[in-house]
Amino acid sequence: MPPEPRSGLGRRLLFLLPVAAFIGLVAVFAFGLGHDPSALKSAMIDKPAPAFSLSPILEDRPGLARADLGGKPVLVNFFASWCAPCRAEHATLTGLAAAGVPVYGIAYKDKPQDARRFLTDLGDPYQRIGLDFDGRTAIDFGVYGVPETYILDRDGRIRYRYAGALTDAVLKTEILPRLEALAQP
């Protein structure tokens, strides 16, 4: 313990510090209750995607592993059936997939039956879907919360990360130009 200040007032203030710190923390939590953060910078940018191997959730669709990345630029989308913004962005993703962009999905902390129901109800844009049941792979990717979308280049490097629900505007300004640039030889 640091030497205690002699004066009565200083000593009292010292003991008030924890309360003050806690009030600040509560303010942060209260903020977190109703806030939806968007653009995030990731420490993983320009790093190779982490090693992972996830089992499939659909019979006709393969799972997803590190080995499946590379060769061509792809989108990797973390989603969950319990996540409302994921529902919101789903039509955008389906449109993107219909336009021929390869989209891989990772179901984050989801029950396989729920994820299947989600895809049956809303359509399935994913070429491959892996189940990240315990969220380990998401941690390795540096996922902050679902939905999040990553652009990986042909070497399997993470080039871009978008946190939050994709919209057509985001596609136009952020996603498509990057994909095009990466597709150039």
Partner 1 sequence: MIAEAGHFALILALLIAIVQSILPMIGATRNSRPLMDVAPMASLLQFGAVAIAFGALTHGYVTSDFSLKNVVENSHSLKPLLYKITGVWGNHEGSMLLWALILTLYGAAVGAFGRNLPPALKARVLSIHGMIGVGFLAFILFTSNPFLRMLPVPPDGEGLNPILQDPGLAFHPPFLYLGYVGFSMAFSFAVAALIEGRVDPAWARWVRPWTLVAWCALTLGICLGSWWAYYELGWGGWWAWDPVENASFMPWLSGTALLHSSIVVEKRDTLKGWTIFLALVTFSLSLLGTFLVRSGVLSSVHAFAVDPARGAFILVLLVMAIGGSLLLFALRAPALRSTGTFAPISRESALVLNNLLLATAALTVFLGTLYPLFLDVIGGDKVSVGSPYYNATFVPLMVPLVLVMAAGPMMTWKRADLTGVLMRLRLAFGGALAVALVMIIVTKGHKALAPLGIGLAAWLLFGTLRELAERIRLFQAPWQVVRNRLAHTTRAAWGMSIAHAGMAVTIAGITVASGWQQEAIQTLKPGDSVTLAGDSYRFDKVEPLPGPNYSAEQATVTVSRDGRTFATMHPSRLTYPLQRMTTADVAIHTDGFSDKYVVLGEPQPDGGWIFRLYYNPLVPWVWFGAIIMVLGGVLSLSDRRLRIGAPVRKAKRAEAGLAA
How many residues bind partner 1 (CB under 8 A)? The answer is 63
CA–CA distance from 20 to each of 10, 17, 82 (Å)? 15, 5, 36
Please, what is the minimum distance in Å from the beta carbon of residue 66 to partner 1? 8
- 60 binds partner 1, rule: CB under 8 A: no
Alpha carbon distance 55, 66 (integer Å):
12
Please, what is the minimum distance in Å from the beta carbon of residue 184 to partner 1? 29
CA contacts within 13 A on the Cβ side of 87: 9
**Strands annotated E in 50-126:** 53-54, 64-65, 74-79, 103-108
Interface residue with partner 1, options 46, 98, 139, 155 (CB under 8 A): 139
Cis peptide bond N-terminal to 147, omega within 30: yes
Query: Which residues 66-95 are close enough to bind partner 1 by CB under 8 A?
Result: 66-67, 82-85
Sign of CA dihedral 76, 54, 51, 128: negative
Overall size of the chain counted in residues = 185
- 63 binds partner 1, rule: CB under 8 A: yes
Q: Which is nearer to partner 1, 51 or 98 (CB)?
A: 51
Q: By the criterion CB under 8 A, which residues form the site for partner 1?
A: 1, 8, 11-12, 15-16, 18-19, 22-23, 26-37, 39-43, 51-53, 55-59, 62-63, 65-67, 82-85, 109, 111-113, 116, 131, 133-136, 138-140, 142-146, 164
